[in-house]
């Protein structure tokens, strides 16, 4: 039976009651410090929130979880049985903005693919392992709403 990462991920989120709404950083004196509008910072916070959940899934299913050591390298996380495994799972975290128009409706939005464009042209550039070793590529999208 094939490992269904998406089903396991959502089941684990439900079990733990994970809420992805983030208001800011909590200072030691109790103040909440706003995250501002830097999507890279917000994306990194979602990576940090995801890490423990991903590590638990890896441990329970005999996988190795390898986080990326650089922001410019795809993917953010690799799930694999071994370094030579040719059925790796790429897990990438993306954050973008959703804006409302004057009528209160959500506008269309866009996002960048970052290093995705690099390794698609060259299977080893800006990617943690050679592209051919990945069986699946999964993205977690987080949207930040702005007025």
Active site residues: 76, 92, 94
How many Cβ atoms from other residues are within 10 Å of residue 38's Cβ? 11
CA distance 58 to 81: 9
> What proportions of the chain, in percent to the nearest 5, are helix, strand and coil?
30, 30, 45
Report the C-alpha dihedral over residues 91, 1, 18, 89, rounded to 10 degrees.
Answer: -10
């Amino acid at each position: 039976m094939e490992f269904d990462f998406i089903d396991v991920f959502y089941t684990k989120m439900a079990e733990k009651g994970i809420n992805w709404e983030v208001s800011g950083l909590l200072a030691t004196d109790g103040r909440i410090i706003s995250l501002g509008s830097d999507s890279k910072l917000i994306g990194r916070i979602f990576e940090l929130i995801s890490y423990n959940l991903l590590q638990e899934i890896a441990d329970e299913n005999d996988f190795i979880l390898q986080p990326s050591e650089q922001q410019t390298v795809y993917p953010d996380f690799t799930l694999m049985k071994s370094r030579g495994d040719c059925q790796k799972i790429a897990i990438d975290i993306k954050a973008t903005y959703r804006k409302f128009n004057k009528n209160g409706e959500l506008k269309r939005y866009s996002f960048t693919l970052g290093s995705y464009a690099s390794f698609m042209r060259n299977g080893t550039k800006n990617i943690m392992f050679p592209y051919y070793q990945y069986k699946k590529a999964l993205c977690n999208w987080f949207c930040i709403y702005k007025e």
